[in-house]
């Protein structure tokens, strides 16, 4: 069976053949300059991850560490069919939508005594019970509830083989470097197997597998098992929100035809050429930004930059949320799937 290209190689493959999505080199340089000015920011540290994930528990037990597994196993497809019909979750005095609504719902369940991070519960949770966990403040439920249940059942069954612990699952293999751990995740969890065929080549983006590893690094504060060799292997996490920010920053450009299609709200099937180009070019675009940033740090500071593509994503995703009104004229792409 053909092995897919790695996410980084897939990004390059797609970008070199793209017909509707283009990387703007001047925009790459501007983005690198912007990040250079932020290079000492806490956002590029494990402490920055904690601030970006205020609903995450501390890592004082395996059940708390499992929070990132529960969240990332269900981390896909939050966009509403209509902008005025959002699924929202209010918890601890704040109201959340999108991905943060999922985080709030999982933390709310823990606070209510629901054993949502227990592997046996994950493996057996019913559709009705998960619906209560993910209940919305509004009449709009969280999308794809059945798919989330199946993914959680699959994940819980896997963790039960490792004492119910994400930490033990990741530590069980012979190799502990990032490429080996990503392969371990996707080999054991089919719902994380984010792959496609493109221009005669099998490619992989592995958005959720990569973000699971990065979130494990974050919740562990890069300590113990969370100190992962070769974390620079990770790319950005190809979703529908960060590409919007890259277009807004002038780093990505869509063809007139694609922009028109997206503004019409057309649904792009998973694996559609245009959908693959948006995701693949986003990956390669951030790789280009990272390369330019590393050059600036070396030339101006005489140092090696610690800011990898995953950390750039950790900056761009909240940037997109914070500037949502300014970039509202740039459409996200709509694809209903379990991969992002």
Which residues are the active-site residues? 239
User: Parallel, antiparallel, or unpaired: how do β-strands 88-91 and 94-97 relate?
Assistant: antiparallel
- The helix (H) or strand (E) run that includes residue 223 is none
Beta bridge partners of 197: 202
Alpha-carbon distance 142 to 44, whole Å? 30
Say which DSSP state 224 is in. G
Q: SS3 for 201?
A: strand
Alpha-carbon distance 80 to 85, whole Å? 6
Torsion, CA 326, CA 328, CA 330, CA 336, rounded to 10: 140
What does the DSSP assignment read for 44-83? GSHHHHHHH-TTSPPSSSHHHHHHHHHHHHT------SST
**Are residues 169 and 176 in contact, defined by beta-carbon separation less than 8 angstroms?**
no
Locate the DSSP E strands across 191-234: 195-198, 201-204
Q: SS3 for 138?
A: coil
Alpha-carbon distance 333 to 259, whole Å? 9
User: Parallel, antiparallel, or unpaired: how do β-strands 252-254 and 201-204 relate?
Assistant: unpaired
Alpha-carbon distance 99 to 338, whole Å? 13
């Amino acid at each position: 069976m053909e092995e897919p290209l790695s996410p980084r190689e897939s990004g390059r493959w797609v970008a070199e053949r793209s017909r509707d999505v283009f990387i703007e080199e001047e925009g790459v340089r501007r983005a690198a300059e912007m990040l250079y000015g932020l290079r000492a920011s806490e956002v590029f540290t494990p402490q920055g991850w904690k601030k970006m994930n205020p609903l995450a528990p501390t890592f004082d037990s395996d059940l708390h560490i499992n929070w990132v597994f529960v969240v990332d196993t269900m981390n896909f497809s939050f966009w509403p069919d209509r902008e005025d019909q959002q699924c929202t979750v209010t918890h601890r005095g704040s109201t959340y939508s999108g991905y943060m609504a999922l985080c709030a719902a999982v933390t709310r369940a823990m606070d209510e005594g629901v054993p949502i991070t227990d592997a046996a519960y994950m493996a057996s949770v019913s559709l009705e019970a998960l619906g209560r966990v993910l209940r919305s403040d509004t009449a709009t439920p969280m999308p794809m509830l059945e798919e989330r249940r199946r993914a959680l059942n699959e994940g819980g069954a896997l963790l039960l083989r490792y004492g119910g612990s994400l930490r033990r699952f990741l530590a069980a293999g012979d190799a502990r470097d990032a490429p080996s751990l990503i392969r371990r995740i996707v080999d054991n969890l089919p719902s994380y197997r984010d792959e496609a065929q493109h221009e005669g080549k099998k490619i992989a983006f592995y958005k959720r597998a990569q973000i699971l590893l990065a979130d494990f690094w974050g919740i562990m504060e890069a300590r113990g098992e969370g100190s992962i060799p070769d974390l620079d292997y990770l790319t950005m996490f190809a979703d529908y929100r960060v590409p919007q920010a890259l277009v807004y920053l002038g780093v990505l450009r869509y063809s007139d035809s694609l922009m028109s299609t997206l503004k019409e709200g057309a649904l792009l099937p998973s694996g559609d050429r245009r959908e693959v180009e948006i995701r693949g070019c986003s990956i390669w675009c951030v790789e280009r930004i990272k390369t330019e940033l590393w050059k600036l740090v070396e030339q101006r500071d005489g140092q090696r930059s610690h800011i990898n593509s995953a950390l750039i994503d950790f900056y761009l995703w909240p940037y997109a949320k914070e500037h949502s009104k300014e970039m509202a004229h740039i459409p996200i792409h709509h694809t209903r799937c379990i991969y992002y």
